[in-house]
């Protein structure tokens, strides 16, 4: 029995999602069809590509080697299709983008209309859960990260810098002791991340402001921190591109405290030239370039 290119597409979908149901959704197919295609591929190759367990489908050692070949074939097939058709309208398929909550909700989501208009055949999945999605395990195709990877087979390029400042609600600052020096910050409650749930070193702000600061209200969500700050629960370190939207927030010690962090764009090196992946990457870079003034306080 021989296998077809379609079988490889089913294999790649299961390898990237680890679930028959998720692969079926990506392929616009059924759970049963995906299962049957995987069984057929394994029979044709006379190898076991996946281990089945209660968590889903996990690649075997042979499957890990086979995915590299399948992805090269996928990239060449999509490149051939793009060469024949040409243009972003022919970029098609599902792309999963992982991004920090702040970048995703307060910057990228507002540009989804422009993305859809320029790439109508790409189905985008935007993941903002508070963890690092593994590109090596294909949990995400593209990621926006706060820190570049230390090693690995990744394409990695800096998107740009953003500034952070201490903010407080104006009604809170009017009713509480003035802050004119760093040590005055110790007289105020702070809002911040849950320390043992900080998933990226770039989110560990408070120690960079003052070693004595401890957060009274902690949340893994930047949106929850923003809401708590607007309600007057205390002071909070927030990105300028988020906090500057809310006139009820005021910068504390504007000439003394400014933190800088960076966003990085990552993808697995083997996927860099896949047309649909390249389409998403190019759009994000262009959006970051044109929106750079939003990220830094003048």
Digit-coded pLDDT (tens) for 227-255:
999 999 999 999 999 999 999 999 999 99
CATH topology of 1-86 equal to that of 162-259? no
Residue-wise pLDDT for 116-162, tens only, equals 999 998 999 998 875 555 554 557 889 999 988 887 888 999 999 99
Secondary structure, 3-state, 32-52: HHHHHHHHHHHHHHCCCCEEE
Are the C-beta atoms of residues 154 and 275 closer than 8 Å to each other?
Answer: no
Considering the domain 1-86 in this protein, what is its CATH number?
1.10.10.10
Q: Could you tell me how far CA 92 lies from the centroid of its own chain?
A: 20
CATH class of 162-259: alpha beta
Q: Where are the domains of the chain?
A: 1-86, 162-259
Q: Which residues of the chain have pLDDT under 50?
A: 89, 136
Q: For the chain, how big is the Rg over CA atoms in Å?
A: 23
């Amino acid at each position: 029995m021989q296998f077809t290119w379609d079988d490889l597409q089913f294999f790649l979908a299961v390898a990237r999602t680890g679930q028959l149901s998720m692969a079926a959704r990506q392929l616009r197919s059924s759970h049963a069809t995906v299962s049957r295609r995987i069984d057929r591929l394994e029979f044709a190759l006379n190898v076991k590509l996946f281990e089945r367990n209660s968590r889903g489908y996990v690649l075997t050692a042979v499957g890990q080697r086979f995915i590299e070949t399948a992805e090269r074939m996928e990239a060449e097939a999509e490149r051939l299709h793009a060469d024949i058709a040409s243009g972003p309208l022919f970029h098609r398929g599902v792309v999963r983008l992982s991004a920090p909550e702040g970048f995703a909700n307060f910057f990228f989501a507002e540009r989804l209309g422009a993305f859809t208009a320029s790439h109508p055949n790409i189905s985008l999945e935007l993941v903002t859960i508070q963890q690092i999605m593994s590109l090596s395990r294909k949990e995400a195709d593209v990621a926006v990260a706060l820190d570049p990877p230390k090693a690995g087979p990744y394409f990695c390029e800096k998107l740009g810098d953003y500034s952070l400042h201490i903010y407080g609600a104006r009604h809170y600052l009017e009713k509480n002791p003035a802050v004119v020096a760093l040590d005055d910050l110790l007289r105020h409650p702070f809002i911040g991340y849950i320390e043992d749930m900080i998933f990226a070193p770039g989110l560990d702000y408070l120690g960079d402001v003052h070693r004595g600061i401890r957060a009274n209200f902690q949340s893994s969500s930047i949106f929850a921190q923003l809401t708590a700050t607007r309600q007057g629960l205390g002071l909070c370190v927030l990105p300028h591109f988020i906090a500057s939207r809310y006139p009820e927030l005021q910068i504390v010690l504007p000439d003394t405290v400014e933190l800088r962090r960076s966003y990085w764009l990552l993808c697995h090196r083997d996927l860099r030239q896949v047309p649909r992946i390249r389409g998403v990457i190019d759009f994000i870079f262009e959006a970051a370039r044109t929106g750079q003034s939003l990220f830094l306080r003048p």
